Amino acid sequence: MIAIVGPTAIGKSDLALRLAQHFPLEIISADSRQVYRHMDIGTSKPTPAERAAVPHHVIDVVDPDEDFSLAVYHRLAIEALEAVQRKGKLPFLVGGSGLYVWSLVEGWTVPQVPPDRELRRQLEARAEQESSQHLYRELEEVDPIAAAKISPRNIRRIVRALEIYRTTGRRPSELQRKGAPGFSTLVIGLTCERSELYRRIDLRVDNMIKKGLIEEVEELLNKGYGPSLPSMSGIGYAQIVQFLRGEMTLPEAIARMKYETHRLVRHQYAWFRLSDSRIHWLDVSETDIKTASTLDRAKDLMEGFVS
């Protein structure tokens, strides 16, 4: 398996599509938002034409009001990976969700613990009443290893970790272990200067608005997918909901989208560290993904890996 990792908006998907012209590959998404149907613009989902040209997996697998977890992702991704390998093709993992990427690369055993919806509702209500920091401190007490891997602001993952602990009586970090994945892996990372990356992010956000993100959010709300759903809490959707409710102006919503995406980048670099010797980093600060230099460097790495 080959993986392309790195922060959002850096060009991972574009590079994967260009590499597909030179290698017999199929793409397995490692994006925590592209799994949801009807959410296309705000997740920068590949277009129908791109998906027709290169098969994509683990995209559009659940509705926005369905539960989705690392355990579900891991099962679907492994199934897709094995199916691609059976075809004699190269599984190509593409995405910026570090949790999803490393679960495959490091061969994690992910606990298949069904959701306890009543317990989840209770924990979410506590998070609303007492703040996510209170729940996070509780998780730190019962499982500091798991807590260290979760942002104190990520209510969904904090609640899930506590849910697993309360349901099984065991720490999530004990149930989630690393092992041999059963296949060799090449990890290619894309990075660039932070100011340039922020410029690309801001341009992407502006393009999302031009492509119809507001209309996409309106349609989701009209279909009954409420703002409290985890799927609707993602960057872009949450801010446009606030705009539609009159809680902020459109310029304020756009500015908040850009700010939150800049903050996401910092979190992604915590998962994909430049010092990680497993990752072959390509600096694209002064180049475009479509330039021959970036493509050639990636091709050289791949040819050396598969030969």
Model confidence over 150-175: pLDDT tens digits? 888 788 889 988 998 998 888 888 87
Say if residues 94 and 141 touch (Cβ distance below 8 Å): no
Look at residues 106, 49, 54 and name the one whose alpha carbon lies nearest to residue 77: 106
Range with lowest mean pLDDT among 20-34, 108-122, 129-143, 224-238: 108-122
Cα–Cα distance between 49 and 31 in angstroms, integer? 19
Spell out a b/e string for 198-226, using b for 16 or more CB atoms within 10 Å of the CB, else e: bebbbeebeebbeeebbebbeebbeeebe
Q: What is the pLDDT of residue 76?
A: 96
Average pLDDT, rounded, for the chain: 92
Taking the C-alpha atoms of 166, 167, 173 and 175 in order, what is their torsion angle to the nearest 10 degrees? Answer: 160
Q: Domains (ranges, CATH) in the chain?
A: 2-110+184-306 (3.40.50.300), 117-171 (1.10.20.140)
The pTM assigned to this predicted structure is 0.84
pLDDT tens for 19-29 read 999 999 999 99
Nearest by Cα to 135 from 112, 153, 116: 153
Contact call for residues 60 and 46 (beta carbons, < 8 A) = no
Q: What is the mean pLDDT of residues 254-258?
A: 98
CA dihedral 265, 271, 273, 279 (to 10 degrees): -110
